[in-house]
């Protein structure tokens, strides 16, 4: 599993796209969501701009999900730049995911 | 809410806030809808229970996780290889499956308290740990090693280990995972196979049989030392060469026939010659078996060769002696008939000679008589060869016999040949017929002379020898034991191998027609064998020849011979009664004539039965029975025994052309038995009768 520390929305300068994926261990949809994320942002980039991704396992850290208002797993949250957005599910509909995140393919 | 009338600015701000809230609500709605959709599609694994602050796995996810976990467990537990995890720093065991416990003989609890090196064989420990460290440090992605564990019971388990390292996000090794395959049985099987192969290779290499294998083109693919030695090559020189190269060209057809049989998948055994490096032959008993491939096609053959050159030589000797035996039997039978005829010829010749006045007729009769004597001498030789001649053995010093003859030998062979006699001290004695031994010595001396037309030397050597089993192998008819060896060596022309093989055959001669009978050496052969000895010849063309005569050394006391009365020249007469038993009418008639002329009273019997009748019914005394040895119905000695019961004073004189089979078994008539050898002359008969009757005449 790949962990990358999130810098948070308060970072200055041209803000990179910051994402956080909440999963339930290695459950099938969670694993699929991680895989799809890898496909959507190959090399950790979106249209040449860096993308920061944090993956949070709710089985290990359930409170973090509650704090972010996440009740379903898997859920992908766009932390920044604003607006904050959420996509629920295994992210298999790539077009819908990019649209929901506000990223132009 | 403030009571101020709404300003345009206020109104604008309010609108903006409302718009934003609407927007947020709309987004939340969209997200909720999207969440509902994901739920409906089964894309949700867990829902967080806000009250208890725990995530609840949905059933599908639970099942999948459990299944995945169970699969992993099953793989971990049931796999036929050991799986174990260890601490990358200390090497302490962290987890293992039951198979690992089986391999090492330790329980999981015991292993968890141990480190990898503790159960590793001391000889493998350092190497194993170095490799382990190498992988942990990232110098190698994994390691594979065949190593030994010391099991709990002290026995050794051979294992094949494959190890990788698990690392955390920072690349720090967290644990090692290894598969451990038990290869003890496989190694044991391989070791057994290797030992077995080594054992068979040793057997094949050490075998005295020649062993080789051929490929389908009949080229040698393997040859052991014995096979190479048979052909006087080195094994590696044979490899890849066609077997045909070691066959004699004249036997190629036979070779091809054998190989065709092999191609049909049939094994067989046969005798065949191999051609050695030096061109000489090596006779072999060959066992050939086809080698077939998995599809049953001819792929070559396997051959085993037993050297039977020695055996064939012995067989050849046996055939030779059997041939001699057969010829001897024939000669003996012929000689017996000759002796009867010659006895008659001598008898009537002598009677005629007595009646004829000196003159041409007397001379002519003398010639007939002399021809008869030559015929008799020839017959004696035939009998000696056939070993049917009656021997009168006595205990002799061979040195005396040879020395006594040396003067005569020197005169016989001429001045150009130097004769020397070497007698070793303490020479043993032999028991044999003196006259016959003299015949042996003279015969060999004459042969030596003929081989040295330009002169040379002739050496007689006498010594004691002990023959053992090995010696007697080359002398087919002789027993191991003490012998007296008479070696007669010349410096003559020598004898080639072909002639050596046939030299003792009767009527075999290398001399010109008329110069030899071909009976000389066969006679010698017969005499020596009849005396329990053996004769052999060693010769190289141009290097001379040595005949070696072995006679059994005599161990007992010398037999006392009856003194022989002096030979009387005048035809002796007598007046006693003589019973003549003879089945040959001509001899009976002749004997009757001679005895009557000499004054004897003669009773004639044509058979043993008739003789018994006469002995029982004749009123007067019977002083002597003159009887043949071999007659139909009863033999001479048996008849004598019966008659001696009736007339104990009866004297017995045997006459025979040869001894019968019963006597031949003993080889000789007992010393002291009165015996007259056919053919005999009237004088010899009269003298012998007087000799027998002389001491106890009427």
In a shared domain, residues B422 and B464: yes
Domain for residue A63, yes or no? yes
In a shared domain, residues B437 and B542: yes
Which pLDDT score is estimated for B319?
78
In a shared domain, residues B598 and B633: yes
Q: Hey, of A23, A84, A89, A95, which one would you mutate to test binding to chain B, going by the most B CBs within 10 A of its CB? A: A89
Helix axes B360-385, B309-355, angle to 10 degrees: 160
Residue showing tokens 């059933």:
B59
For residue B660, give every residue at least 6 positions away whose Cβ sits within 8 Å of its Cβ, in sequence order, or none. B629, B630, B635
In a shared domain, residues B263 and B302: yes
Q: Hey, of A1, A4, A27, A61, which one would you mutate to test binding to chain B, going by the most B CBs within 10 A of its CB? A: A27
- Alpha carbon distance B488, B441 (integer Å): 9
Taking contacts as CB-CB distances below 8 angstroms, the residues of chain B near A24 are 45-46, 55, 57, 61
Which pLDDT score is estimated for B64?
66
Does A28 touch chain B if contact means CB atoms closer than 8 Å?
yes
Structure confidence at residue A6 as a pLDDT band (50, 70, 90)? very low
**B242 DSSP 8-state letter:** B
Residue at a domain's end among B261, B288, B307: B307
Gyration radius from chain A CA atoms? 13
The SS3 of residue B312 is helix
- For chain A positions 54-93, those within 8 Å of chain B (CB to CB) are 58-59, 62-63, 65-66, 70-74, 83, 85-90, 92
Domain for residue B188, yes or no? no
Q: What is the pLDDT of residues B196-246, one digit of tens each?
A: 888 888 888 888 899 999 998 889 999 999 999 999 999 889 999 998 899
Q: Does the structure show a pLDDT above 90 at A95? A: no
Domain for residue A2, yes or no? no
- Alpha carbon distance B147, B145 (integer Å): 6
- Alpha carbon distance B268, B265 (integer Å): 10
Domain for residue A6, yes or no? no
Q: What is the pTM of this model?
A: 0.39
In a shared domain, residues B550 and B466: yes
How many domains are contained in chain A? 1
In a shared domain, residues B540 and B429: yes
- Alpha carbon distance B7, B1 (integer Å): 14
Structure confidence at residue A9 as a pLDDT band (50, 70, 90)? very low
In a shared domain, residues B421 and B473: yes
Q: What is the pLDDT of residues B395-429, one digit of tens each?
A: 888 888 888 777 777 777 777 888 888 888 888 88
Domain for residue B358, yes or no? no
Q: Are strands B577-581 and B601-605 parallel, antiparallel or unpaired?
A: parallel
Nearest to B584 by CA among B656, B669, B637, B644: B656
Q: Of residues B523 and B488, which shows the higher confidence score?
A: B488
In a shared domain, residues B465 and B546: yes
Interface TM-score (ipTM) > 0.85 = no
CATH number of B483's domain = 3.30.565.10
Residue at a domain's end among B246, B279, B307: B307
Structure confidence at residue B664 as a pLDDT band (50, 70, 90)? very low
In a shared domain, residues B545 and B586: no
Q: How far is CA B654 from the centre of its chain?
A: 50
Q: Can the peptide bond before residue A62 be classed as cis, meaning omega within 30 degrees of 0? A: no
Domain for residue B497, yes or no? yes
In a shared domain, residues B170 and B212: no
How is B107-121 classified by DSSP, letter by letter? Answer: -HHHHHTSBHHHHB-
Does A37 touch chain B if contact means CB atoms closer than 8 Å?
no
Among chain B residues, the shortest Cα distance to A92 is held by: B43
Task: Write down the H helix ranges in B207-246.
Answer: 225-230, 235-238
Residue at a domain's end among B522, B539, B554: B554
Domain for residue A91, yes or no? yes
- Alpha carbon distance B164, B136 (integer Å): 8
Q: Can the peptide bond before residue B267 be classed as cis, meaning omega within 30 degrees of 0? A: no
Domain for residue A62, yes or no? yes
CB-based contact B523:B439 (threshold 8 Å): yes
Q: What is the pLDDT of residues B110-149, one digit of tens each?
A: 999 999 999 999 999 999 999 999 999 888 888 888 999 9
Domain for residue B590, yes or no? yes
Among A80-84, B284-288, B510-514, the least confident range: B510-514
Structure confidence at residue B565 as a pLDDT band (50, 70, 90)? very low
Does A99 touch chain B if contact means CB atoms closer than 8 Å?
no
Residue showing tokens 């057994």:
B192
Which pLDDT score is estimated for B672?
56
CATH number of B277's domain = 3.30.450.20
Q: Give the residue-averaged pLDDT of B281-306.
A: 89
Residues in chain A: 105
Q: Give the residue-averaged pLDDT of B486-503.
A: 82
How many domains are contained in chain B? 4
Domain that holds residue B659: 577-694
Domain for residue A61, yes or no? yes
In a shared domain, residues B587 and B688: yes
Domain for residue B382, yes or no? no
User: What's the sign of the alpha-carbon dihedral B370, B574, B676, B442?
Assistant: negative
CB-based contact A51:A44 (threshold 8 Å): yes
CATH number of A91's domain = 3.40.30.10
Q: What is the token pair recorded at B62?
A: 């639970």
Domain for residue B687, yes or no? yes
Taking contacts as CB-CB distances below 8 angstroms, the residues of chain A near B41 are 89
**How many Cα atoms are found within 13 Å in the side-chain-facing hemisphere of B106?**
24
Q: Does the structure show a pLDDT above 60 at B325? A: yes
Residue showing tokens 């000789």:
B668
User: What's the sign of the alpha-carbon dihedral A27, A33, A39, A44?
Assistant: negative
Q: Terminus-to-terminus CA distance in chain B, angstroms?
A: 199
Q: Give the residue-averaged pLDDT of B532-548.
A: 84
To the nearest 5 percent, what fractions of chain A are helix, strand and coil? 30, 30, 45
Among B105-119, B199-213, B296-310, B314-328, the least confident range: B314-328
CB-based contact B466:B483 (threshold 8 Å): yes
Burial of B119 (0-12, 13-18, 19+ CB in 10 A): buried
Domain for residue A4, yes or no? no
Q: Give the residue-averaged pLDDT of B355-370.
A: 88
Domain for residue B261, yes or no? yes
Domain that holds residue A83: 17-101
In a shared domain, residues B211 and B286: yes
Which pLDDT score is estimated for B512?
56
Q: What is the pLDDT of residues B418-475, one digit of tens each?
A: 888 888 888 888 988 877 788 788 888 888 888 888 888 888 999 998 887 666 555 5
């Amino acid at each position: 599993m790949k962990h990358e520390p999130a810098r948070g929305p308060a970072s200055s300068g041209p803000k990179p796209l910051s994402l956080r994926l909440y999963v339930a261990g290695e459950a099938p949809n969670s694993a699929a969501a991680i895989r799809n994320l890898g496909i959507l942002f190959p090399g950790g980039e979106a249209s040449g701009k860096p993308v920061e991704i944090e993956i949070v396992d709710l089985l290990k850290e359930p409170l973090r999900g509650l704090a972010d208002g996440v009740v379903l797993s898997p859920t992908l949250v766009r932390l920044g730049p604003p607006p904050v957005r959420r996509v629920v599910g295994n992210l298999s509909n790539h077009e819908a995911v990019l649209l929901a995140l506000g990223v132009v393919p | 809410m403030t009571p101020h009338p709404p300003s345009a600015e206020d109104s604008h701000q309010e609108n903006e806030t409302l718009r934003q809230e609407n927007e947020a609500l709309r987004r939340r709605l969209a997200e909720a809808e999207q969440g509902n959709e994901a739920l409906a599609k089964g894309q949700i694994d867990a829902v967080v229970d806000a009250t208890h602050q725990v995530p609840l796995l949905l059933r599908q996810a639970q099942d999948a996780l459990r299944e995945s976990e169970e699969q992993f467990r099953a793989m971990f537990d049931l796999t036929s290889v050991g799986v174990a995890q260890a601490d990358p720093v200390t090497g302490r065991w962290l987890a293992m499956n039951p198979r690992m416990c089986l391999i090492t003989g330790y329980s999981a609890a015991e292993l968890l308290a141990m480190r990898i090196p503790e159960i590793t064989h001391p000889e493998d420990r350092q190497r194993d740990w170095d490799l382990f460290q190498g992988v942990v440090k990232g110098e190698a992605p994994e390691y594979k090693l065949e190593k030994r564990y010391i099991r709990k019971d002290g026995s050794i388990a051979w294992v094949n280990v494959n190890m990788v390292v698990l690392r955390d996000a920072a690349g720090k090794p967290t644990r090692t995972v290894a598969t451990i395959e038990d290869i003890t049985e496989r190694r044991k099987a391989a070791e057994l196979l290797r030992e077995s192969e080594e054992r068979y290779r040793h057997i094949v290499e050490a075998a005295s049989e020649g062993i080789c294998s051929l490929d389908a083109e009949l080229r040698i693919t393997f040859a052991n030392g014995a096979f190479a030695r048979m052909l006087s090559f080195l094994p590696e020189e044979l490899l890849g060469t066609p077997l045909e190269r070691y066959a004699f060209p004249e036997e190629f057809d036979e070779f091809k026939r054998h190989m065709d049989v092999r191609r049909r998948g049939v094994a067989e055994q046969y005798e065949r010659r191999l051609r050695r490096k030096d061109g000489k032959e090596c006779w072999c008993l060959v066992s050939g078996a086809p080698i077939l491939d998995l599809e049953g096609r001819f792929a070559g053959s396997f051959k085993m060769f037993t050297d039977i050159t020695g055996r064939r030589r012995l067989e050849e000797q046996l055939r030779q002696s059997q041939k001699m035996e057969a010829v001897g039997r024939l000669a003996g039978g012929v000689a017996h008939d000759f002796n009867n005829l010659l006895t008659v010829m001598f008898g009537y010749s002598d009677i005629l000679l007595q009646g004829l006045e000196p003159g041409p007729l007397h001379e002519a009769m003398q010639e007939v008589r002399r021809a008869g004597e030559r015929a008799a001498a020839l017959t004696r030789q035939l009998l000696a060869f056939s070993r049917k001649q009656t021997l009168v053995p006595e205990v002799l010093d061979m040195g005396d016999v040879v020395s006594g003859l040396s003067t005569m030998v020197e005169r016989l062979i001429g001045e150009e040949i130097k004769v020397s006699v070497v007698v070793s001290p303490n020479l043993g004695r032999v028991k044999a017929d003196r006259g016959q031994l003299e015949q042996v010595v003279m015969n060999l001396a004459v042969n030596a002379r003929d081989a040295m037309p330009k002169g040379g030397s002739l050496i007689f050597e006498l010594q004691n020898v002990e023959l053992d089993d090995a010696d007697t192998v080359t002398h087919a008819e002789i027993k191991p034991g003490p012998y007296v060896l008479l070696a007669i060596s010349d410096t003559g022309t020598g004898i080639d191998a072909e002639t050596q093989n046939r030299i003792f055959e009767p009527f075999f001669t290398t001399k010109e027609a008329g110069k030899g009978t071909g009976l000389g050496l066969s006679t010698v052969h017969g005499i020596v064998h009849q005396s329990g000895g053996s004769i052999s010849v060693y010769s190289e063309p141009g290097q001379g020849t040595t005949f070696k005569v072995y006679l059994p050394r005599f161990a007992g006391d010398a037999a006392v011979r009856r003194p022989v009365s002096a030979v009387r020249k005048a035809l002796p007469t007598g007046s006693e009664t003589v019973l003549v038993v003879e089945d040959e009418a001509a001899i009976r008639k002749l004997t009757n004539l001679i005895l009557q002329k000499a004054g004897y009273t003669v009773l004639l019997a044509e058979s043993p039965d008739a003789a018994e009748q006469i002995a029982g019914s004749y009123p007067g005394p019977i002083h002597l029975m003159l009887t043949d040895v071999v007659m139909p119905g009863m033999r001479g000695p048996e008849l004598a025994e019966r008659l001696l019961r009736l007339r104990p004073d009866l004297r017995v004189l045997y006459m025979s052309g040869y001894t019968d089979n019963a006597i031949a078994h003993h080889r000789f008539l007992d010393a002291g038995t009165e015996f007259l050898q056919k053919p005999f002359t009237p004088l010899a008969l009269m003298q012998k009768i007087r000799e027998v009757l002389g001491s106890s005449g009427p």
